[in-house]
Amino acid sequence: MVQRIDRFTDLTGTWVAWLNVPLVLVVCHEVVMRYVFDAPTIWVFDVTYMLYAAVFMLGSAYALHKGAHIRTDFFFERWSIRTRGTIDSVAYIVFFFPSLLVFLVVTFDQALYAFRIHEMSDQTPWRPLLWPFKAVIPLTCLLLLIQGVSELVKSFYAARTGVELEHKEKVEI
């Protein structure tokens, strides 16, 4: 179960991560069009923020899997694996799941509404449909919740047995 979730997050995380490449290319395309051909496009601005938002929002579940979300390890590092597991288990149940579930419901409604009324962006004359962009938030919550289950099981296991199922390295910042 845990392995399956982790593999799922790895896979979706990799898809999301490749979005970085189109992000680079799209912005470079705009740079070339504007500064070389003096013909700025109307769609790049929207596509840029949409890609960037998709990368960091949808990537957050992958980041959770990799232990990238920073903790205050001032005390955390000195505690035993068992204590850490207990803290994480409690925090996942009390903090993580309730707030993300609520946020999922709220933002899903917003995205659904945007879909129903065919809401369009008013930031640029290109006016793309907004619902896929807005759907990113509930999707992020969903991915985080799925990965959260795996993390909860892992921390629960650590709390019970004092053995880490996987060790997470600190991310480079």
Q: If we measure between CA atoms, which residue out of 55, 57, 61, 56 comes closest to residue 148?
A: 61
Here's the x/- map for another protein, 65-104, by CB under 8 A: it reads as: -x-xxxxxxxxxx-x----x--xx--x--xxx-xxx-xx-
Q: In the complex, what is the shortest distance from the CB of residue 39 to another protein, in angstroms, rounded to a whole number?
A: 15
**R_g over Cα of the chain:** 20
For position 117 contacting another protein by CB under 8 A, the verdict is no
The Cα 57–Cα 47 span in angstroms is 15
The sign one gets for the Cα dihedral 117, 122, 124, 130 is: negative
Q: Which two tokens stand for residue 168?
A: 């997470």
* Residues binding another protein (CB under 8 A): 13-14, 16-18, 20-21, 23-28, 30-31, 35, 45, 48-49, 51-53, 55-57, 59-60, 62-64, 66, 68-77, 79, 84, 87-88, 91, 94-96, 98-100, 102-103, 106-107, 110, 123, 133-134, 136-137, 170-173
